Amino acid sequence: MSEPSHQHLWFDGPHGQMLSVLINGDSGWLMYIRQPGDAGFSSRNPEYDGPANALIDYVIDNGQRDQYPASWALPVPLIMRAIEYFQSTGLRPPFIAWHDDSHGEWAPATAL
């Protein structure tokens, strides 16, 4: 079970799309998947100005702890807006900066 400040949410679109949301406190990050098996797209925060190597802990729905770059994190109000957009359209929210994860440049530090 995740901690109160941590949430892992999944939303399904009408044609196999999925939106994964990881939240820690007042920030979180998004992953948009076009269909099962897709590497997908993950959010980026172009306004991030903190340390390049800063990480944020997240707890996924099976209780595993993962860390992802703080530069991927967005404020929860923007994440909620993205969820609403996805739920109404099934599309990747255009107001989020996305990275195409099919290039495999990042692997989370797991099992903290």
DSSP, residue by residue, 69-107: EGGG-EEHHHHHHHHHHHHHHSS--TTSEEEEGGG----
What is the model's pLDDT at position 98? 94
Residue 112: how many CB atoms within 10 A of its CB? 12
Q: Cβ(22)–Cβ(29) under 8 Å?
A: yes
Q: What is the mean pLDDT of residues 9-16?
A: 92
> Shortest CA distance to 8 belongs to which of 94, 79, 81?
79
pTM: 0.85
Q: Cβ(42)–Cβ(31) under 8 Å?
A: yes
Interatomic CA distance for residues 57 and 88, integer angstroms: 29
Interatomic CA distance for residues 19 and 1, integer angstroms: 20
pLDDT range class, residue 106, cuts 50, 70, 90 = low
What is the model's pLDDT at position 37? 86
> Shortest CA distance to 67 belongs to which of 17, 108, 16?
108
